[in-house]
Amino acid sequence: MKKLVSLFLVLAMLLVSVAALAEAPEGYPEVREGVDFGGADIYILDYWSGDVGSDARAEDPTEEQAALYAYRDWLNETYNCHIVQKQGGDWGSQITEFTNFVAAPDGSYRLYILEPGSVANAIKAGARAWDDLVDLSAEKWNKQDLGFTTKQGKAYGVYAGEAEPRQCLYFNKKVLEDAGIDWNEIYDMQEAGTWTWDALVELLAKLTRDTDGDGINDIYGIIGDNTDFLIISVFSNGGAFFALDDEGKLQPVMNSDVAMEALTWAKETWLNYGAPQPADANWDWYKNAWKQGYCGFYMYQTYGGFNDNSEMADMADQWGCVAFPIGPKGNTYVHVVSDNITLIPDVYDDQTAANLAFIYDMWTNPTPGYDDENAWVGNKLNYTDDRAVYETYAMLREADHSAFNMTLAMGTNNDIIGNGFLWNIYGNDPAALIEAQMPVWEGLCNEFNGD
C-alpha cells in the first residue's frame, strides 16, 4: 500500500510539473522547473527608481503597460516571489550599499545595478561571476559591457540590451548658419564616411571669430566636456588607454602612437577653438554656457539632449547631433560604452545565485508581444531633427560603433586617468605626464592581473 501511495505521489508531482510547464501564455518564456523563492521578495536595487520603483503602476495603463504588468505578475506567481526594482543608494553611495551587504548579508535576495565606474570596487568587495549562471553568449547580454566587467576570464557584471550611446557632438543650427555653414552637410559627411577630424577642424576655424571687432573672440567653435573630448579622440583614432596583451594581461597603452596622436590633436584643437572657462566657474559651467548660443559644437553625451527632461530641454536654439568624427587611424564612428551594470553579491550558494540570475534574465526580457524595434525612439523627436535620431543615435546603438574602455575594469575614469593625467593635459606635455604616471598604471594593471 505504501508503494502505491508513493507511486501516486510521484505521478501527482509529475502532473503538477507538466501543468506548470503548460501554464506559460503564448509568447512567454518556458517555465523553469525547480525555481521557487518561497514567497520571498527579490530586490533589484538601482540608484534612480525611488522607494516604490517598479511597484508603482499607472492608474490608466496603456495596452503595453498592462501587458508588462501582466508579465511581471506572471513571473511573481510562477516563481513564488515578489520582484521589485527600486532604489537602493544614490549614484555615489550605491557601491557602499553593495559592499556593506556583502560584508553583512541579511538573508534577503538582492541584485545591484551600479554605475560602471563602481564595478571594479564591487568585484573586489565580492561579486558573483555570471559565467556559470546564464548563457552569456546569448544576444541579449551586451558584449561591449562584458569587456570591462570581465576579470581573469570571468564576467562579474551584465547589461541587457543594446548599449546606450554616449559621446556625441551637438551643434547649434543658428550659430552654424550665421557662419555660413549648412549643417545638413555635416549629416551628409557622416553618412558618406567623410566626417573626420580634419572636417571638424575646418568648421571650427570658420566658427571661431571676433564679430564685434574688439579683438576678442565672441563666437567659439566648441564647448563642453574637454576631458571627454580627449577620451573619445583616443578611441576614434583606434586607440585605448589600457588593453589586454596576447597573454590576456592588462597593460597601459596610452603611450602608443595612435593614442599619442589623438591626445596631441585633441589638446591643440581645444586650445585653438574651445570656449575659455570663466574665472571661478564651476566645473560644469559649460552646460548653461552652451545654451547661451555663442558656440557651434558641444562635446557631451547623448543623455544631455535626447532624454526626457534633459539639461537641454529648455534650450532656445535648435540643435542637431552627429557622432564624433573619425581619426586618421580610426575606421568607424564610435562612442565608449558606459552602461549601468547588474551584479549579484557573492553571498549565495550556487543554486540560489543561479535562480537569481535566471529571474533577472526573465525580468529583463522585452514585454511579451511588444518587442518593438523602434521603442528606443521614445520622445527623442520632440527635441531635435529626424537625422539626429534616425541617423546618428540609431547608428551609435549598433555594436560595431561601441567601444569599451578597460580603464573601468580598475575604477573610474576620474581616479585612473583623470587625476594627474587628462585633467592636466591642456597645460602640459602629454608624453611627460604619461611617463610620470606610468609606474602607477603598471601597478594597477599588476593588481588586476593578479601578479
- Nearest one of 309, 308, 305 to 318, comparing CA atoms: 305
Domain covering 28-163+339-365 in this structure, CATH number:
3.40.190.10
Q: What pLDDT is recorded for position 309? A: 86
Q: pLDDT digits over 136-150, tens only?
A: 999 999 999 999 999
Average pLDDT score, the chain: 93
The answer to whether residues 239 and 258 touch, using CB atoms and an 8 Å cutoff, is yes
Confidence of residue 372 (pLDDT cuts 50, 70, 90): confident
pLDDT for residue 102: 98
Q: Which CATH superfamily is domain 167-336+379-449 in?
A: Periplasmic binding protein-like II (3.40.190.10)
Residue 298 pLDDT > 50, yes or no?
A: yes
Q: What is the DSSP string of 198-219?
A: HHHHHHHHHH-B-SSSSSS--B
Q: Report the pLDDT value the prediction gives residue 371, as an integer from 0 to 100.
A: 74
pLDDT at 6: 38
**Cα end-to-end distance, the chain, whole Å:** 65
d(C-alpha 106, C-alpha 211), whole Å = 65
Residues of the chain with CATH 3.40.190.10: 28-163+339-365, 167-336+379-449
* Tens digit of each residue's pLDDT (9 = 90 or more) over 48-63: 999 999 999 999 999 9
Quick check: 330 and 232 in contact, CB under 8 A?
A: no
Percent of the chain at pLDDT above 70?
95
Backbone angles phi, psi at 55, to 5 degrees: -75, -15
At 83-128, the pLDDT tens digits run: 999 999 999 999 999 999 999 999 999 999 999 999 999 999 999 9
Least confident of 202-206, 214-218, 315-319: 214-218
Please check the confidence at residue 282 and state whether its pLDDT lies above 50.
yes
- CB 326, CB 333: distance < 8 Å: yes
What confidence tens digit (pLDDT) does each residue in 390-416 have? 999 999 999 999 999 999 999 999 999
